[in-house]
């Protein structure tokens, strides 16, 4: 009744090809945007912003990046942590070398470096496929981490070997550094995520996106109908690494403020991949839902066990692991195509509500 497309007529090609052709979707997105941009910064406290929402947004961006590569172009990658490290370390190098440069520009430049690295490590994908490729991308993961740990130039030769985000302002408002307001950091992360989500959404509807999906579904067939695998695959690697690089720079400058290479180790790569799979391969919304699941669920479980049931911190953690593992399996059994698919089903049900036939 509420979610009805009947009567919404399109009178131009533009309207027909809009990102959100259904009016209710547009209202919903607008409401969600208002909520996220206006209401959340007003009501959320420090803990919610710093410990939950900012990492959630950053991980969602990284998941979006990986989803381009794995979900749309079908190339399984476990090098995400490495590409994010490139973004983080390059943003540190750029911003310490050019302190006047706008920090957003710094993020984008470090994304470019990450894209270049992604192209190099994407080359084997022309020959290697599936799980073999996944393991091969681990070469990128281990090599990059080793490199940033080993070569002093990347951390300006400081004796601790970690990098610290210096305070940087835009339009007179501090964005990075310890003194920046959490609300500002949150809004920065949110804006970047929104922009990239919108860009990606459009990209995957374009000929580039269709080429990716053709490669994903069957690369030989795609090649036969005239899609160049070299260009298509490397473009996917480049764009994916670009987004992951920006996410890495954000993780460093907005969330942590100070990182060592351990923050980008293989566990991060796995974490992002889990987000993509749980959220839904080949879905923008899925990346965000997946990140939300992986960030919120452990915290919610801890709160439930420690705060709600009064368990010891350690028992709670063990139980949390078991329940979390069980939940992953449960969700996969209920809906193997991820949370995004659950959302889609919900929408379809809503279309018929309250008179299903």
Partner 1 sequence: MHARNLILAAATAAVTTALVTAASPVWAAGEMVLPSLVYRTGAYAPNGVPFANGVSDYIALVNAKGGINGVKIKLVECETGYKTDVGVECYEKLKGEGATGAAVFNPLSTGITYQLIEKTWVDKVPVHSMGYGRTAAADGRVFKWTFNFPTTYWSQASAVIKYIGDQEGGMGNLKGKKIAHVFHNSPYGKEANPTLEILADKFGYELIMLPVDHPGQEQKATWLQIRRKKPDWVFMSGWGVMNQVAIKEAAAVNYPMDHFIGNWWSSTESDVLPAGDAAKGYKGANFHGAGADWALHGDILATLYGGDKAKAGGKNFGEVLYNRGIVNAVFSTEAIRTAMGKFGDKPLTGEQVRWGLENLDLTAARLKALGLEDFTNPVKVTCEDHETMGPVRIQQWDGGKWVYVSDWIKPMRNVVRPLVERAAAAYAQEKGITPRKCDGSD
Partner 2 sequence: MGVLNEFFVLPFLDIAEAPLFFIEVIIGGLSAGVMYSLVALGFVLIFKASGVFNFAQGVLALFAALTLVGIMEWGVPAPVALLLTAAVMVGLAFAVERLVLRPLVNQEHIILFMSTIGLAYFLEGLGDTLWGSNVKKLDIGIPEQSFEIGGVLLNQFELVAAATAGTLVAVLAVFFHYTRVGRALRAVADDHQAALSVGIPLKTIWVIVWSVAGIVALVAGIMWGSKSGVQFSLSLIALKALPVLILGGFTSVPGAIVGGLIIGVGEKIGEVYWGPALGGAIENWFAYVLALMFLVFRPQGLFGEKIIERV
Give residues in contact with partner 1 (CB under 8 A).
46-47, 50-52, 55, 96, 146, 149, 158-162, 164-167, 177-179, 255-263, 265, 296-297, 299-304, 306-308, 312-314, 316-318, 321, 327, 330, 333-334
Query: Which of 99, 96, 94 lies closest to 109, judged by CA?
Result: 94
Task: Indicate the residue among 210 and 351 with the shorter CB distance to partner 2.
Answer: 210
* Structure tokens, 221: 């067939």
User: Shortest approach of partner 2 to residue 326 CB, angstroms?
Assistant: 6
Which of partner 2, partner 1, none does residue 17 bind (CB under 5 to 8 Å by kind)?
none
Residue 54 vs 234, nearer CB to partner 2: 234
- Binding window for partner 2 (CB under 8 A); candidates: 25-33, 38-46, 109-117, 131-139: 131-139
Tokens representing 252? 């460093």
Nearest distance from C-beta of residue 314 to partner 1, angstroms: 4
For residue 41, CA distances in Å to 60, 61, 174 come to 18, 19, 16
Binding to partner 2, residues 141-180 (CB under 8 A): 142-143, 146, 150
CA of residue 151 relative to chain centroid, distance = 28
Q: Return the closest-CA partner of residue 54 out of 188, 234, 156, 209.
A: 188
Q: Look at residue 5 and give its three-state secondary structure.
A: coil
Rounded-to-integer distance, Cα 219 and Cα 126, Å = 10
Q: How far is CA 35 from the centre of its chain?
A: 20
Q: What φ, ψ does residue 82 adopt, rounded to 5°?
A: -65, -45
Give min distance, CB of 342 to partner 1, in A. Answer: 8
Please state, as a whole number, how many other Cβ atoms lie within 10 Å of the Cβ of residue 350. 14
Residues 50-79 that bind partner 2 (CB under 8 A): 76
Binding site for partner 2 (CB under 8 A): 76, 124, 127-132, 135-136, 138-139, 142-143, 146, 150, 218, 220-221, 224, 266, 270, 274, 277-278, 281, 315, 317-329, 332-333, 336
């Amino acid at each position: 009744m509420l979610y009805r497309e009947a009567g919404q007529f399109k009178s131009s090609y533009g309207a027909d090809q809009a990102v959100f052709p259904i009016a209710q979707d547009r209202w919903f997105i607008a409401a969600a945007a208002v909520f996220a941009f206006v209401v959340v910064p007003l009501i959320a406290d420090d803990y919610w912003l710093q410990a939950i929402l900012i990492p959630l947004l950053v991980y969602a961006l990284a998941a979006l990046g990986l989803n381009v590569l794995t979900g749309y172009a079908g190339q399984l990658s476990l090098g995400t942590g490495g590409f994010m490290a490139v973004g983080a370390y390059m943003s540190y190098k750029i911003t310490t070398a050019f302190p006047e440069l706008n920090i957003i520009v710094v993020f984008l430049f470090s994304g470019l470096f990450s894209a270049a690295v992604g192209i190099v490590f994407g080359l084997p994908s022309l020959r290697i496929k599936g799980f073999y490729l996944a393991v091969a991308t681990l070469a990128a993961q281990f090599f990059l981490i080793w490199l940033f740990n080993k070569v002093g130039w990347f951390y300006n030769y400081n004796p601790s070997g970690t990098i610290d985000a210096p305070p940087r302002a835009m339009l007179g408002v501090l964005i990075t550094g310890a003194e920046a307001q959490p609300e500002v950091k949150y809004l920065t992360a949110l804006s970047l995520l929104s922009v990239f989500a919108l860009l990606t959404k459009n990209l995957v509807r374009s000929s580039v996106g269709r080429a990716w999906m053709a490669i994903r579904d069957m690369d030989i067939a795609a090649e036969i109908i005239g899609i160049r695998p070299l260009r298509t695959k490397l473009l996917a690697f480049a764009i994916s690494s670009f987004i992951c690089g920006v996410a890495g720079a954000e993780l460093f400058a907005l969330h942590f403020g100070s990182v060592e290479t351990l923050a980008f180790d293989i566990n991060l790569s796995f974490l992002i991949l889990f987000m993509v799979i749980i959220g839904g391969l080949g879905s923008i919304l899925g990346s965000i839902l997946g990140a939300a699941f992986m960030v919120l669920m452990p915290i919610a479980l801890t709160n439930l066990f420690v705060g709600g049931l009064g368990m010891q911190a350690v028992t709670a953690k063990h139980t949390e692991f078991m329940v979390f593992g069980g939940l992953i399996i449960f969700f996969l059994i209920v809906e193997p195509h991820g949370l995004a698919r659950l959302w889609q089903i919900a929408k379809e049900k809503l279309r018929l509500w309250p008179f299903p036939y």
